[in-house]
Structure 1
Amino acid sequence: MTQTNSELVRPGVSGGLADVVRARFLLKLLVRKELKVRYRGSVLGLLWSYVKPGVQFIVFYVALGIFLGLEQSPTNRGGLPNYAIYLFSGIILINFFTEALGNASRSIVGNGGLIKKIYLPRQLFPVASVWVSAVHFFPQLMILLVACFFSGWNPNLIQLLAAVAGFLIVALLATGLGLLFGAANVYFRDSENFVDMLLMIATWASPVMYAWTMVQAKVGDFWFTVYQMNPITIAVETFHYAFWLPTTDGAQAIPPHLLSLWIPVGVLISAAILLWGQLTFRRLEGRFAQEL
């Protein structure tokens, strides 16, 4: 007599991000699909990954580096040496964050037709958006590396590891917030507008275009500590430490306790936000199909 398992299994129960790991093949397909859809009918295609940050860099460099005097020159000793490297190393990281979070927060609504037809791990969509943004990030990183080499870049192992930590901080943060706002956007479409404002603030609330010393001089030690707790700020400073500082004479100061304190704090905060986003997503995803 054949024995049957009487234990009932509830269909469609999410396993969270563990489902994303188990569905790696689906994740790969989604990333490929997103890239094809985005550049369908485009003349430049993936070259937009170079053009858009290039134009952004030129605008900011001319406005801030030349007109506002942030570029150090023989007639302006108060600026930053190799300001072009300083600026671009921050721009590519903040662009990765803004693209990843912006697309992840819209990913569930944007794939509503697919979600209503079949069941698959819904976390795949925000995570795929972060992966697509990473695909766009690495060509920009290659341009930065070439510019650094021409500027006499000579990093040590600690600086390279700091850059990896900075990228990890941003990736965790973007994934966590993408899960959070991706789920909230299904129920409250105002979430998209809130994310747009958050991204605008993130660009200017981190030392992408200006030096951290300018912030410390204006706000004092207490508020500077609050400013430092922003994971994006920490990540941008790690990129400056890894890519910009080795192209200078080394006399430029790095934020106090960047390696010993702030990088671990940034990782912990980003991991906590990832956990928060994951728990919120799992709680809300049960009614995605109905709400969409």
Structure 2
Amino acid sequence: MNSKVVLITGGSSGIGKSIGQFLKTKGFTVYGTTRNLSKSTNFTSFELLEMDVTDVATIQNALSKIIEREGRLDVLINNAGIGITGPIEETPHEEILKVFDTNLNGPIHMMKSVLPIMREQRSGLIINITSIAGYMGLPYRGVYSATKGAMGLITEALRMEVKDSGVHITNVAPGDFATNIASGRYHSPVLENSPYKVPYASTLEQINEGVNDGEDPILVARAILKIINTKKPKVHYKVGSFMQKFSLFLKNALPDKVYEKLLLSHYKL
């Protein structure tokens, strides 16, 4: 049995839940978090703690409970996040700030909170769940792409800053997976008189189809297990279909305008 203690933010559903269930079957001690524990009273996959990644007080409270019970924290999986779609020009700015607060500031709060614990242990692993969408500016998903892209860069920088602490940090970028993310995503409304009405509505339909036809989240869980069992994790990992990962190769290989044309063609814009 594995004695490592794992904390997964956003563990009550989707990819986070799949990771937690899988790691528990492998003998890990798993804790997940949810913003509202009262909505998960029937959740039995692993223990959930009430926590909001945008609220440092709740983070400290959850970590205190884990350390009191287990005496250590070996792995943090920064999975909590929210989606957003819409023309940047027409997306309410308060919604943009909300997504950045959850997808970027939240993981930063988490890392700043667990690093002193892991440094004292002289060991620990932080896995930031970003997105393949974070490697490119996608039409009508620009804000989401920006939050995930920024998190990837934070990961790169922080790895170097803590290299002598015994703590490893890596980034896992999933592609499209069959989860309930679409139900919690903020969609800017398709405005009747908007110049974006037709292309945005068409792209939104494609985005939702991509989630519904996505891969099984267990693939991400298996990738996470391999990373945990790796002595020296890489900076970046990508998990998704061949075409999704191949699109990243094309982005690096092709001139910017050629790649842009490929994206426009893909979205029929």
TM-score category by the smaller chain? 0.3 to 0.5
Over alpha carbons, which structure has the higher Rg? Answer: 1
Larger strand percent = 2
Q: Which has the higher contact order (CA 8 A, sep 6+)?
A: 1
Larger helix percent = 1
